[in-house]
Structure 1
């Protein structure tokens, strides 16, 4: 028997905790649309994100290692899929709206530049006198304005709760009533799960890629509490295990440990703080109490691991070289198109008068993949500063 959207919503809501975002309370869309007969709003949001051009381009954007070093390393798309999986796991375990958590996770990096954080930092510097640049706000700009897939509205016209979930704490979202709501209400617990899932995903998979690349050493990792704890658990169960299967089993145990500790801590605080509604969540958020975090002792171990990765992997000389090259390419492209605006696509040129030359150039450059940025740089005679 086919179920209509109201039956599906009712079934989904029956699984949700009292403090979750209900399927029929996902917030209105900026541009009114007729409801689909058997697809609920967040299903449509998730699919709109996945079908977007910006989402597809993530496969050719850097996570840590640029696409040219090999095909077995994470890119921005595979990272996003891992974040979505962890978000969905956490939300389901906590009785939250897993569709919302997953959709926020799938959309969270849509605005990322070529060449990872190096590209973002350079665009931020270049745009400091023209309204600034931050990849999270660029993600919102994409889903609310830049994507052109529908005849009746710009962007993806996502639900209000999805949009608010993409907004980071502390950000200023001028002119946005949803931004004001986000500031007053605080983030949904689904949004908080997506946020911490991002950190868990990159902490785990960057170790995997760093080891595969040879930039991290097992003997160095063995000095870290979180790694050694996970290693011992795997060895207790599989004493004869070795090689890559051992390493990947330890990374899987590490990921599971972080997710499980986060879930336990959230659940403990829900009971400790007597949270029974979203209003309760918002009250504690405004009081400066963070619910989505680790147990204090465990957090110290996570900090130790993250500090190690920053020193050893993210600041590895070879990573720094490719990052610096990425920064140089972004800078060269920005100034080139700023001087020769007629050479960028017409869809961007049409907005010069309303949004300004620099913002349109920024949109164009930020949307490039690593490969396309490299090709464009070569076409304008780019020479690395290292040359």
Structure 2
């Protein structure tokens, strides 16, 4: 497929920090994607959750299934727009590598615990994983990904510094991001490539869709509740008109696939209009536009805000979810200071890192790497073992 002028061209990649010979059968971005898929951190996403803790059921999304869904959406949108689908997929697959166990609950706890030591940010942690913590190759630490993939991980939510910086990035640079950027300038004040922007919007599409699905399956709300909301209400009404009397599960699926489709179609239409107006002639034009080209339309964005507000109240902060949030927060709150006080409790393969730590800050970052890398089940099991208590939550 011929790529658009403003797509990231594999032949024009800025390369890798550690020079390697080119593959004879894969582009640099295909190679990045494959290295991410084979990474240990990627496999661990199987047992890290989005909203529900892993023990709560086999049907809920995990970070792994979410990442696969994000990659599928990213490939679809990128293909329609003439972008590099391999790069968009690589960024999509890597975007959640830095997440802690227990979803955003674990991240909230880690941010609080790491505040005295330079903070914690899951995007920055993903960079730390792919540049330092994956240790499988003879010639370098990390995965030695291309500049474009690293840029996408760092900046897919927008510029990190400068006048256009995303509000999520207010305050000092997370140390993990600062370290990578010092080694290789990621141009943090500009927007990322269109492929990275696609990965970001694909994340929004995927979680907006699957959180509705998981919330229904959990019983935290029902279809009648969704009939009262924008986007979801019209989708159920259309299904009822076309398929009267459809059984519950098929009705749910048909409605939510329409929600999914509307989001994707909206993003594509907006992108086509914005690209037509801007007429970018290169990927550098995309980076320097000062605004995103990949986004929802304003009407749909407002409607999705209403849906997300509903999900926040009825799902993310539901009483039953809050009980589990409190329990798993205790796991992180107990493990982090325990390892800080007794770093010898870390596995043997971490001993060299601990021995090389020059101060408490460096030790804290090593402990954070270890705890953040845990899966839900491993964190719960280790907490019970090390604290001499019953598991804070049990399956079933």
Question: What's the TM-score, normalizing by structure 1?
Answer: 0.91
**C-alpha distance 185-381 of structure 1, shift in aligned 2 (>3 A):** closer
Specify the alignment match of 2:178 in structure 1: 174
More moved, 38-47 vs 80-89 = 38-47
Describe how 1:194-209 pairs up with structure 2 within 5 A: 194-209=199-214
**C-alpha distance 297-90 of structure 1, shift in aligned 2 (>3 A):** same
CA distance in 2, matches of 1:177, 1:91: 30
Specify the alignment match of 2:251 in structure 1: 246
Shift of 1:376: 0.5
CA distance in 2, matches of 1:98, 1:35: 19
Q: In the alignment, is residue 39 of structure 1 matched against residue 39 of structure 2?
A: no
Q: In the alignment, is residue 264 of structure 1 matched against residue 269 of structure 2?
A: yes
Q: In the alignment, is residue 309 of structure 1 matched against residue 281 of structure 2?
A: no
Specify the alignment match of 2:330 in structure 1: 328
Q: 2:71 aligns with which of 84, 88, 99?
A: 84
Secondary structure, aligned partner of 1:183: coil
Structure 1: 5+ residue stretches without partners? 1-13
Contact 1:104 1:194 in 2 (8 A): yes
Contact 2:205 2:263 in 1 (8 A): yes
Contact 1:20 1:190 in 2 (8 A): yes
Question: What value does the CA root-mean-square deviation take over the aligned residues?
Answer: 1.9
CA distance in 1, matches of 2:40, 2:340: 24
CA distance in 1, matches of 2:184, 2:253: 41
Shift of 1:297: 1.3
CA distance in 1, matches of 2:304, 2:105: 24
Would you say how many aligned residue pairs link Structure 1 and Structure 2?
A: 371
**C-alpha distance 384-307 of structure 1, shift in aligned 2 (>3 A):** farther
Q: 1:192 aligns with which of 172, 193, 197?
A: 197
Shift of 1:132: 1.1
**C-alpha distance 344-177 of structure 1, shift in aligned 2 (>3 A):** closer
Q: In the alignment, is residue 373 of structure 1 matched against residue 379 of structure 2?
A: yes
Secondary structure, aligned partner of 2:78: helix
Describe how 1:1-387 pairs up with structure 2 within 5 A: 14-168=1-155, 169=158, 170=160, 171=169, 172=173, 173-175=177-179, 176=181, 180-285=185-290, 289-352=291-354, 353-354=356-357, 356-381=362-387
**C-alpha distance 21-178 of structure 1, shift in aligned 2 (>3 A):** farther
Contact 1:349 1:360 in 2 (8 A): no
Secondary structure, aligned partner of 1:174: helix
**C-alpha distance 225-139 of structure 1, shift in aligned 2 (>3 A):** same
CA distance in 2, matches of 1:213, 1:103: 31
Secondary structure, aligned partner of 2:140: coil
**C-alpha distance 245-139 of structure 1, shift in aligned 2 (>3 A):** same
Cα offsets for 1:183-221 (capped at 9, x unmatched): 244200100110111111111101111101101121111
Contact 1:160 1:178 in 2 (8 A): no
More moved, 194-203 vs 237-246 = 237-246
CA distance in 2, matches of 1:386, 1:159: 41
CA distance in 2, matches of 1:332, 1:249: 44
Cα offsets for 1:245-266 (capped at 9, x unmatched): 1101111110110011011001
Question: What's the TM-score, normalizing by structure 2?
Answer: 0.89
Cα offsets for 1:49-101 (capped at 9, x unmatched): 11111000111111111111111111111111111111111111111001000
Contact 2:98 2:124 in 1 (8 A): yes
Shift of 1:294: 1.5
Shift of 1:229: 1.8
More moved, 273-282 vs 259-268 = 273-282
Specify the alignment match of 1:8 in structure 2: none
Contact 2:384 2:390 in 1 (8 A): no
Secondary structure, aligned partner of 1:225: coil
Shift of 1:239: 3.3
Contact 2:123 2:154 in 1 (8 A): yes
Contact 1:20 1:96 in 2 (8 A): yes
